[in-house]
Structure 1
Amino acid sequence: MSQALGAKPASLLVLLTVMWGLNQVAIKVALGGFPPMLQMGLRSAVAGVLVLLWCFARGVPVFRSGRRFGPGVLTGMLFAMEFALVFFGLTMTTASRSVVFLNTAPFFVAVGAHFWLGDRISPAKAAGLALAFVGIAVAFLDGLSPGTLNTAAGDVLCILAAVFWGGTTLVVKGTSLREAPAEEILLYQLLVSAPLGFGLSVLVGEAGIGPVTTTELVAFLYQGVVVAGASYLAWFWLVRTHSAPLLHAFTFIVPVSGVFFGAVLLGDPVGWRHGIALLLVASGIYLVNRPAPVRRAVPPGA
């Protein structure tokens, strides 16, 4: 397992986190035509079909090991709970607040990996995580002020979603799934979360898809094709090959990119705090990802 990211994996992570920042805005926009649980189920179903086609076209062997079935279903349930909470949460809070609380996941991963996976938190990594979190707090200083009861409820749901996101990463790292192709890991999550989303939609009595605008349709397809399909394949490939807390440190970029897209697409105000936040986040990522110094042997008699 790599303890420091090279240039290519780090660049891929930056691209993914920027895409995920836009995803929060896309979910909020698509809620205008797609109810939350139905939207979750449909996007998982769309992405699942695309990933299956990808596996067939490229001859990727999936579902060949029965011992991965249990952990696979577990990750699917955790994945479904994460996004059920996010989608419900976004009906009660803003996209900007949601992205802040969802991205507390690195802390749950770091603590879980420390105790369960033996991936110890060094003082430098702890300082990096703390610094990046301060950056997020600065960026959303106004938004983190106490809100209404409904907003607070949505915030709590997004924090719980972060717990499930962190749990998904830990299960992948700590079970036989770490030996599975990235496509198989993603398929377990998509194929489990799709029927759960449809079932929850019926259970809570959602009315079904309403009149859908072109913008809402594009936002939905972005989630299903680009994010839940292509970007998650890349993410789980990285999860299998690199340190979990190190990867999750990069997710602090998501709120910053989410603010940018919120300003461009939704008209959210952006102030000087976000520039400071970017510097803090970048510094935190450097501390977390910095390779340990190589100790040189001291010549005898030196």
Structure 2
Amino acid sequence: MSDRKPLDAFATLVMVALCLCWGFQQISVKLIAADITPVMQMGLRSAIAALVLGAFTLRREGPAAFADGSLGAGLLVGALFAAEFLCIALGLVLTSASHMVVFLYSAPIFAALGLHLVRPDERLRPLQWAGVLLAFGGIAVSFLAGGGSVTRAMLAGDALGLLAGLAWGLTTVAIRGSRLADAPAVRTLFYQVAFAGVALIAYAAARGQTAVHFTPTVVGHLAFQIVVITLISYVIWFWLLRTYLASRLSILSFLTPLFGVGFGVAVLHERLEPSFVAGALLVLGGIVLVSGSDLFRRRSAA
């Protein structure tokens, strides 16, 4: 939209705060994994968020909110959202939070490729294709150059992180190509967390992973994940997207994996392999080229 504004100091500070929160969420999951499994954490936080968002939607729009023909698309994005967080939950058991956050943020690459195939107005430009190749080169470096320090379990966890990024990217494609593109953001988020809450709790029950050992630390981290991440941060993010230029916001959002890696090293004392650092930098560089190509093109023209 033409009335969206360039970033000002307020929006920049808000984005940095959001990226700090998003970068910490995988660390939060890891910190309480001994008391509640990651998959149960994801399911519980999604279910509680769904109750809040569902009540808000019904109060604001009434039962007709879900009679606009968006249910089919809602179920699809819900399934993709559940698959994303199942991969994150399973992957965090096998690999480090630092690895997970970097591979998860491959999502913009998959979203760009998917939109290129289904939307003529989203065709990739040469600079974006260069970013795609750079990102996939970084993924290859991260996977293939680890040497003896990387175990088979860690590689499996990294692969699950990449699958989570794929599911996230396909979610973007599904939203942009359906009625949800014009639906209220709260309703779209409701579809995602409602499906994920049911699916992930059912998976945890089937695997015998529903036990929760409530401690003040567990309650605090769950509150952070439910209130700060799933409710507040996503609502603020959607507001920013409707107020400011998306290309500027996208560039700043890639502070998230940098913060995530930093938190993983500082809080969880995770060790970073040189090959992973090199590959992660290539991935992030490729994502910046893909997501920021319009910004770079406008500045070059100016």
TM-score interval, smaller chain: 0.7 to 0.9
TM-superposed deviation, 1:235: 3.9
Secondary structure of the structure 2 residue equivalent to 1:26:
helix
Aligned partners of 2:252 and 2:146: how far apart in 1? 21
**Alignment-derived partner of residue 198 in structure 1:** 201
- Counterpart selection for 1:108 from 83, 107, 110: 110
CA deviations 1:175-208 (Å, max 9, x no partner) are 1101110100000111111111111112222251
Secondary structure of the structure 2 residue equivalent to 1:194:
helix
Secondary structure of the structure 2 residue equivalent to 1:206:
coil
- Counterpart selection for 2:296 from 287, 290, 298: 290
Aligned partners of 1:261 and 1:204: how far apart in 2? 30
Identity of aligned residues (%): 33
Distance 1:205 1:173, change over 3 A: same
**Alignment-derived partner of residue 7 in structure 2:** 7
**Alignment-derived partner of residue 51 in structure 2:** 49
**Alignment-derived partner of residue 300 in structure 1:** none
- Counterpart selection for 2:179 from 172, 176, 188: 176
Count of aligned pairs between the two proteins:
291
Distance 1:6 1:244, change over 3 A: closer
Contact 1:24 1:95 in 2 (8 A): yes
Secondary structure of the structure 1 residue equivalent to 2:94:
coil
**Alignment-derived partner of residue 164 in structure 2:** 161
- Counterpart selection for 2:225 from 223, 226, 237: 223
Distance 1:248 1:109, change over 3 A: farther
Query: Is 1:123 the equivalent of 2:126?
Result: yes
TM-score scaled by length of structure 2: 0.78
TM-score scaled by length of structure 1: 0.78
Aligned partners of 1:102 and 1:283: how far apart in 2? 15
Distance 1:238 1:173, change over 3 A: farther
Aligned partners of 1:133 and 1:14: how far apart in 2? 26
Distance 1:151 1:294, change over 3 A: closer
Distance 1:97 1:223, change over 3 A: same
RMSD: 4.0
**Alignment-derived partner of residue 152 in structure 1:** 155
Contact 1:21 1:261 in 2 (8 A): yes
Greater helix share, 1 or 2? 2
Name stretches of at least 5 consecutive residues in structure 2 with no aligned partner.
Answer: none
Distance 1:229 1:143, change over 3 A: farther
* Greater Cα shift, 162-171 or 219-228: 219-228
Aligned partners of 1:144 and 1:4: how far apart in 2? 44
Contact 1:71 1:176 in 2 (8 A): yes
Name stretches of at least 5 consecutive residues in structure 1 with no aligned partner.
Answer: 297-302
Look up the equivalent residue of 1:91 and give its one-letter code.
Answer: V
CA deviations 1:73-131 (Å, max 9, x no partner) are 11111101100110011011110111121111111011111111221222334456667
Query: Is 1:232 the equivalent of 2:234?
Result: yes
Look up the equivalent residue of 2:222 and give its one-letter code.
Answer: F
CA deviations 1:37-89 (Å, max 9, x no partner) are 222211002222333454467x3567243310100111111101100110011
Aligned partners of 2:252 and 2:78: how far apart in 1? 23
Query: Is 1:85 the equivalent of 2:91?
Result: no
